Amino acid sequence: MLMPGMLLGDVFPNFEADSTFGRMKLHDFLGDCWGVLFSHPGDFTPVCTTELGRAAQLSPEDSPQPQFNKRNVKLIALSVDSLEEHHDWSEDIMAYNNTEPESQFPFPIIADDRRELVEKLGMLDPEEKDRSGMPLSARCVFVIGPDKRLKLSILYPASTGRNFDEILRVIDSLQLTAHNRVATPVDWKAGDSVMVPPSIPEQDTLTLFPAGVYTKDLPSGKKYLRYTPQPNTHQH
Ligand code: BEZ
């Protein structure tokens, strides 16, 4: 469930919150970067630990796979526990990753122990309850653009862990389509051909896509399945 009334393209709320990196205001923290805000049902839980472990491997600049940094994306996790618990849990996550114990966890975890943000942003999973019967937070993924607008949201129930390869893949598509008039087809990955959107008239395709357009013939005779090589301009 998304925050009531929050649609793709809306400015993401500029909330203030306590995090393991200190008090933060969302828009200031993001600056000119893209952002991924992702929520968790709770600290010291198994699936969340594997998710944060994977996100931590993909984030720091000095990591062997700095996939988020190289896309100019800042990660922000959120869980409905206290700062103290987050700090202790971060140590477990780094141990799970076999990371040096003295290194800093690479991105902030928001402490939403009063559940203000999960309620405001519609992040609760009514189907999954904690031991006291309170609904758990779902596994939301919000991708926020440098213009602070919501570009994508994916919502998983607490019982299903996310796939960070998919999150990176959709960021590649969002960043490509933010700067180029193209769309990405099923299972697209960076480097594959892209599609010419239906809004572009046939007579404009040669100028807009100098690398060429291949149109697949279809029984309807309609020429809407149009492919072009991925444009090179991949600005963040
Ligand atoms: C987990 O992170 O392992 C988890 C949390 C809540 C419900 C189910 C799994």
Residues 107-134: tens digit of each pLDDT: 999 999 999 999 999 998 888 888 888 8
Q: How far is the CA of 91 from the centre of ligand 1 (A)?
A: 19
Per the prediction, the chain carries an average pLDDT of 93
CB of 176 within 8 A of CB of 182? Answer: yes
Q: CA-CA distance, 72 to 155, in Å (whole number)?
A: 23
Q: How is the beta sheet containing 226-228 ordered, strand by strand?
A: 194-195, 226-228, 214-215
pLDDT band at 235 (very low <50, low <70, confident <90, very high): low
45 CB within 6 A, ligand 1 = yes
AA letter at 183: A
Nearest to 152 by CA among 73, 36, 31: 36
159 CB within 6 A, ligand 1 = yes
Task: Give the pLDDT of residue 42.
Answer: 94
- List beta partners, residue 89: none
Q: How far is the CA of 167 from the centre of ligand 1 (A)?
A: 20
Helix residue ranges, H only, 36-146: 46-57, 67-70, 83-96, 116-120
CB of 213 within 8 A of CB of 205? Answer: yes
| Residue 26 tokens, joined | 């969302």
Task: Give the pLDDT of residue 128.
Answer: 85
Of 54, 136, 159, 160, the one to substitute when testing ligand 1's pocket (max ligand atoms within 8 A of C-beta) is 159
> Tokens 């299903």 — which residue?
160
Residues 23-50: tens digit of each pLDDT: 999 999 999 999 999 999 999 999 999 9
Q: CA-CA distance, 25 to 14, in Å (whole number)?
A: 6
Nearest to 110 by CA among 135, 151, 140, 145: 140
Asked if the model's pLDDT at residue 20 lies above 60, the reply is yes
Catalytic hit among 18, 28, 81, 147? 147
Q: CA-CA distance, 24 to 185, in Å (whole number)?
A: 37
Q: CA-CA distance, 209 to 195, in Å (whole number)?
A: 11
User: Quick one: average pLDDT of 58-73?
Assistant: 85
Instruction: Supply the residue whose CA is at minimum distance from atom 1 of ligand 1.
Output: 47
Q: How far is the CA of 83 from the centre of ligand 1 (A)?
A: 19
pLDDT band at 214 (very low <50, low <70, confident <90, very high): very high
Task: Give the pLDDT of residue 233.
Answer: 61
Known active-site residue 33: no
CB of 172 within 8 A of CB of 189? Answer: yes
Q: CA-CA distance, 196 to 214, in Å (whole number)?
A: 10
Show me where the domains of the chain are located: 16-175, 181-236
Could you tell me the fold of the domain covering 181-236?
Antioxidant, Horf6; Chain A, domain 2 (3.30.1020)
Residues 144-195: tens digit of each pLDDT: 999 999 999 999 999 999 999 999 999 999 999 999 999 999 999 999 999 9
Kindly state which CATH superfamily the domain 16-175 is placed in.
Glutaredoxin (3.40.30.10)
Q: CA-CA distance, 70 to 212, in Å (whole number)?
A: 29
- List beta partners, residue 136: 125
Q: Please name the residues in contact with 170: beta carbons below 8 A apart, sequence gap of 6 or more.
A: 143, 152, 154
> Tokens 């922000």 — which residue?
76
Q: CA-CA distance, 57 to 200, in Å (whole number)?
A: 40
| Residue 176 tokens, joined | 């490509």
Asked if the model's pLDDT at residue 1 lies above 50, the reply is no
Residues 97-107: tens digit of each pLDDT: 998 877 889 99
Specify the length of the chain in residues. 236
